[in-house]
Amino acid sequence: MLAVLSIVVGSRAIDPATVWQALIAPDPTDDAHLTVQLLRLPRTLLVILVGAALGVAGAVMQAMTRNPLAEPGLLGVNAGASAAVVTGMLVVGSVTIEAYIWFAFAGAALAAVSVYALGGALQHASNPVRLVLAGAAMSVVLGAYTSAVLVNFPGVFDRFRFWDTGSFQGRDGAVVPPVAIAIVVGLGIALAISRSLDALAMGAEFGRALGVSPRRTWLLAGVSVVLLAGAATAAAGPIGFVGLTAPLIGRALVGPGYVRLVPFCALVAAALLLAADVIGRVLVLPSELQASIVSALIGAPVFIQLVRRRKVPTL
């Protein structure tokens, strides 16, 4: 239902019959059909992909740190993506969304690998506390670098702020394929290690007793988070609360088991972000409110309510 609303609703309303015709028999001379085919359909697919990626990345990150309040930014993914986008704008003057994606994805991956190296996960089994501390340090350093560039180069700031707001406005079909590939691979890894995450929920020693390798599982979990959160951040900019709220809702509804929680988080987060994107399009017509702002307005009350009711289970 939300996907249908995402295609129908916008600054210009398109009736469902026209949308159906645009999907099954598109007319290249009809501007309504072109709007559906070139703008709204790719945007809807991208919102679903990004939402699912953030939800699953949040669940996996919480499993890695054994902290139900963890989110993907703890690995420095958001800070790395932002620093790389700023660098691309400064050095090569990248101005297109397609260029932002590759810079942001590379920055997110490099930041996460650096955090893993600093946390010692490349030499021995990862320690969640060391990973979080390394991620926090990396985020501070990269955030300082990003701020220094933006303060000293106003032209870069003018371009960067449109990406940094966390929006799907202006994203077309060219953005979807590279993002979809990374997210599908990341989702596949998360689903493949879900049983191992369940085994390690009681600690590394308990997991080893069940035949699970903690180092291998944490490394694969890290790769999954990098692919999911990196691709999502590259495509839409930093979006908060989705990766934090979706796993909390999932645990309240389906329990803490990651075999069920991972796919459920994908559905919840995709629905949450779709709702935020649709609401943002109509809330301040004829302008548009960024999805990151609306998702925070939706996610924050849900998060607070879950905490107040003490429905946030321990891991």
Q: What is the tens place of the pLDDT at every residue in 80-125?
A: 888 888 888 888 776 666 677 788 888 888 888 888 788 765 555 5
- H or E element that contains 161: helix 154-164
Q: Record the tokens describing residue 257, joined without a space.
A: 């088991």
> What single-letter DSSP state applies at residue 38?
I
* C-beta separation of 49 from 176 below 8 A: yes
Identify which has the larger pLDDT, 60 or 94.
60
Peptide bond into 313 cis (omega under 30): no
Residue 315 pLDDT greater than 60, yes or no: no
**pLDDT tens-digit profile of 221-257?**
888 988 898 888 888 888 888 888 889 888 889 988 8
User: What pLDDT does residue 302 have?
Assistant: 73
Query: Domain limits of the chain?
Result: 2-308
Q: Would you say 281 and 11 are in contact if contact means Cβ atoms under 8 Å apart?
A: yes
Q: Which one has a higher pLDDT value, 160 or 311?
A: 160
Whole-angstrom Cα distance, residue 146 to residue 79? 8
pLDDT in tens, 115-156: 878 876 555 555 667 777 888 888 899 989 999 988 888 878
Confidence of residue 307 (pLDDT cuts 50, 70, 90): low
Please answer whether residues 196 and 162 qualify as being in contact, where contact means their C-beta atoms are separated by less than 8 angstroms. no
Rounded average pLDDT over 201-226: 80
Q: What is the pLDDT of residues 22-53, one digit of tens each?
A: 888 878 888 888 888 888 889 999 999 999 99
CATH 1.10.10.10 corresponds to the domain 2-308: no
What span, in angstroms and rounded, lies between the C-alpha atoms of 101 and 79? 14
Distance, CA of 239 to CA of 93 (rounded, Å): 24
Is residue 312 pLDDT above 60, yes or no? no
Q: What pLDDT score was predicted for residue 265?
A: 94
Give yes or no for a contact between 115 and 88, defined as CB atoms under 8 angstroms apart. Answer: no
Which residue in 83, 221, 57, 72 sits closest to 164, CA to CA? 83
Picking from 166, 147, 170, 124, the residue whose alpha carbon sits closest to that of residue 11 is 170
pLDDT at 109: 82
What Å distances lie between residue 76 and 73, 107, 133, 195, CA to CA? 5, 10, 10, 26
Report the C-alpha dihedral over residues 58, 314, 256, 125, rounded to 10 degrees.
60
DSSP 127: -
68 pLDDT above the threshold of 80:
no
Alpha helices for 25-127 (secondary structure H): 31-35, 41-65, 77-91, 97-118
Q: Which of 53-62, 188-197, 258-267, 292-301 has the lowest mean pLDDT?
A: 292-301
CA distances from 69 to 58, 236, 245, 306 (A): 9, 23, 9, 12
The reported pLDDT for the residue numbered 50 is: 94
Answer for the pair 228, 243: CB distance below 8 angstroms, yes or no.
Answer: no
The pLDDT, as a whole number, for residue 272 is 92
**Nearest in space to 294 (alpha carbons), one of 1, 100, 17, 6:** 6
Residue range 202-211: average pLDDT? Answer: 75
Phi/psi zone of residue 299: left (φ > 0), alpha (ψ -120 to 50 degrees), beta? alpha
| CA–CA distances in Å: residue 206 to residues 58, 59, 60, 186 | 23, 20, 19, 26
Q: Of 143, 78, 138, which is closest to residue 114 (Cα–Cα)?
A: 138
Residue 162: C-alpha distances to residues 138, 145, 291 (Å): 24, 19, 12
Q: What is the pLDDT of residues 165-185, one digit of tens each?
A: 777 877 777 888 888 998 999
User: For residue 49, what pLDDT is reported?
Assistant: 95
Mean pLDDT of all residues belonging to the chain: 82
Residues in the chain: 315
pTM: 0.86
